[in-house]
């Protein structure tokens, strides 16, 4: 595959309690470990929030692209992605993802069909397929 775009970011400091910055400086933020994982929490983000935000935006874009290709007009849509992290039972950590879609302008059958199609188009879904449990639900 020849990438159409490549993003680059660098993490420094103490990993989850460090700092991340994109090569263009648009993303430039401190990280902290959530309280649930033994950290201080606070007003900083963490890798799971960043992954959830990226996945939600990417999946929403895939959903809109699929709808456009089928000449289906979507209005007032939203995608919420929850990313969970925990012990994978094999000496490491794993992720689980839940994607919830709000598609109030289409019937349930159409919404489910669009969700399934978007899940096959979205690069995040393609990258995680077979590696992370992902559930799709309608709000």
- The strand pairing partners of 78, in sequence order, are 102
For the chain (139 residues), the mean pLDDT of every run of 10, in chain order, is 96 94 97 94 94 98 98 98 96 97 98 98 97 96
Is 85 in a helix, a strand, or coil?
Answer: strand
- Cβ burial of 35 (10 Å; 0-12, 13-18, 19+) is exposed
**Beta-bridge mates of residue 85:** 95
**What is the pTM (predicted TM-score) of this model?**
0.95
Nearest Cα neighbor of 1 from 119, 123, 120 is: 123
Phi, psi of 119 (to 5 degrees): -65, -25
What pLDDT score does 45 carry? 96
The predicted pLDDT at position 66 comes to 98
């Amino acid at each position: 595959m020849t990438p159409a775009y490549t993003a680059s970011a660098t993490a420094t400091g103490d990993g989850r309690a460090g700092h991340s910055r994109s090569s263009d400086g648009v993303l430039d933020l401190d990280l902290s470990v959530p309280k649930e994982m033994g950290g201080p929490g606070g007003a900083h983000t963490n890798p799971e929030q960043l992954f959830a935000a990226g996945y939600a935006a990417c999946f929403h874009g895939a959903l809109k692209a699929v709808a456009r290709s089928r000449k289906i007009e979507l209005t007032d849509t939203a995608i919420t992605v929850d990313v969970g992290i925990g012990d994978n039972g094999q000496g490491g950590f794993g992720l689980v993802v839940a994607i919830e879609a709000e598609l109030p302008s289409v019937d349930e059958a159409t919404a489910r069909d669009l969700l399934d199609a978007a899940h096959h188009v979205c690069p995040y879904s393609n990258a995680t397929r077979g590696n992370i449990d992902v559930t799709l639900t309608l709000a």
